[in-house]
Amino acid sequence: MKIKYDAIIIGAGVIGAAVSFELSKKGFKTLNIDRNPTSGYGSTSASCAIIRVHYSTFDGCALAYEGYHYWKKWEEYLEYKDEKGLAKFIECGCMIYQTKENDYLKNVIARAQELDIPFESWNSEMIKNKLPIVETGKFGPVKLTSDKEFGKNNGENLKGAIFFPTAGYISDPQLSAHNLQRASEKKGADYLFNSSVEEILTDKDRVSGILLDNGESIYAPVVVNVAGPHSMKINQMAGVENDMNIKTKALKVEVAHVKPPKGFDYENNAFVISDSDIGCYSRPEIGNHILIGSEDPVCDDRIFVDPDNWDQNFTDQWKTQLFRQAQRFPDMPITTNMKGVVALYDVSDDWIPIYDKSSLPGYYMAIGSSGNQYKNAPIAGVMMANLIQKCENGHDHDKDPIKLKLQNINREINVGFYSRNRTINKESSMSVLG
């Protein structure tokens, strides 16, 4: 018996599940395939799940602000109440320090003004009033802990910061993927777990389905690669990677999970912070902890790996992030107990995702999205479903890039911004901050 679907989606993370949900709403019979035991078990579960609205590019900023509105009305968007409960949006806000490294946020401020995104300007005194545990001195440029100048401040303070109230984080990123799975299943979608794709099938120069590791073939005229850190391998199977100007790779990342300074309720009184002066971003975590991630400063090595063969242990990077954050929070306890997450990011050459068709008809990609696209999952699903439907109806997206109307903010973006054939975007921060 030949198993057939309208669309097969490789990956059941938060974006893969969102693509399923949006295609299902358009009448596609979809199947998500994932090598993990449940939805959101891979990169999604390791995400810091930060919801932010600031970007240096117009399209990135517009998409993020549109995405914020989906999380704000999560239950309404899903049209379904998961038996496991719903992921919660903790809207604590996000503060970004103005530094020489980010050009004092000139582009970010301009984009926010252009899109009517609310923000506040804070000087050093206001920052200390909001966050009493902070030291606002300048420590940059970011250094290795072995540098004799590490941790030294010349007496100067940072210029200040920009605070976006429409930001925060999702309480449980894996649950958010499960929410989308259940919502899409209600619309008729299927999911198959503990299964790996061994081959992309083609017929008459277009995609025709997939071959699984158990030898079973499943057929569909549309296949969507949302395989996270394995996206490059899936593209190689499909024979499309060499035709792409922008490619993706798997990057090892570490996030530290530590206690805040004693006596400060970090969970309830702090917020998301981006700090390019020390090369870290952070956010509150349930249980009164701090999550500390790296903003990938140039002095650090980037460890690209084979997603099927890599060292999943913490390295000195964990300790480096802890000491860098301690510059800003001098009373933060220093521990040797390494807690947190070691995971893989799927990153593109310019850290901007690829939401696009490919050179193989019927084969689409939502890849290079790790680290800075979790927040965009719902609107990425909308964008991909719109792209797939139009291309399958004969539209040539390469010659005439599709425009997407962002309903919540009443703006329009050019989906060609996320093309596989774009040149490196010089406005990108070339880091997790997008």
Identify the pLDDT of residue 370: 84
Identify the pLDDT of residue 429: 55
Domain shared by 131 and 277, yes or no = yes
CA distance 83 to 77: 16
- Per the structure, how many domains does the chain have? 2
Domain shared by 210 and 333, yes or no = no
Domain shared by 64 and 12, yes or no = yes
Domain membership of residue 427 (yes or no) is no
Provide the CA 108 distance to its chain's centre, in angstroms: 18
Domain membership of residue 58 (yes or no) is yes
Q: Which domain holds residue 98?
A: 90-164+249-348
Q: Which two tokens stand for residue 92?
A: 């604590």
Domain membership of residue 426 (yes or no) is no
Domain shared by 157 and 277, yes or no = yes
Identify the pLDDT of residue 434: 45
Nearest to 6 by CA among 211, 25, 186, 204: 25
Identify the pLDDT of residue 57: 87
Domain membership of residue 432 (yes or no) is no
CA distance 156 to 135: 11
Q: Which residue has the tokens 């952070």?
A: 282
Domain shared by 334 and 357, yes or no = no
Residue 155 makes CB contacts below 8 A (sequence gap 6+) with: 137
Domain shared by 275 and 338, yes or no = yes
Domain shared by 56 and 10, yes or no = yes
Domain shared by 128 and 238, yes or no = no
Domain membership of residue 434 (yes or no) is no
Regarding beta strands 206-212 and 217-219, do their DSSP bridges make them parallel or antiparallel, or are they unpaired? Answer: antiparallel
CA-CA-CA-CA torsion sign (236, 240, 243, 245): negative
Domain membership of residue 12 (yes or no) is yes
CATH number, domain of 10, equals 3.50.50.60
Identify the pLDDT of residue 56: 86
354 forms beta bridges with 367
Please give the chain's pLDDT, 434 residues, in tens. Answer: 688 999 999 999 999 999 999 999 999 999 999 999 999 999 999 899 999 999 988 999 999 999 999 999 999 999 998 999 999 999 999 999 999 999 999 999 999 999 999 999 999 999 999 999 999 999 999 999 999 999 999 889 999 999 999 999 999 999 999 999 999 999 999 999 999 999 999 999 999 999 999 999 999 999 999 999 999 999 999 999 999 999 999 999 999 999 999 999 999 999 999 999 999 999 999 999 999 999 999 999 999 999 999 999 999 999 999 999 999 999 999 998 999 999 999 999 999 999 999 999 999 999 999 878 999 999 999 999 999 999 999 999 999 999 999 999 999 999 999 999 999 766 655 555 54
Domain shared by 216 and 259, yes or no = no
Burial pattern 358-396, b for ≥16 Cβ within 10 A else e, equals: bebebbbbbbbbbbbbbbbbbbbbbbbbbbbbbbbeeee
Domain shared by 334 and 378, yes or no = no
Question: DSSP 3-state assignment of 272?
Answer: strand
Domain shared by 201 and 282, yes or no = no
CATH number, domain of 302, equals 3.30.9.10
Domain membership of residue 423 (yes or no) is no
280 forms beta bridges with 275, 294
Phi and psi torsions of 3, nearest 5°: -90, 125
Identify the pLDDT of residue 432: 58
Identify the pLDDT of residue 424: 78
Domain membership of residue 425 (yes or no) is no
Domain shared by 218 and 334, yes or no = no
CA distance 350 to 424: 6
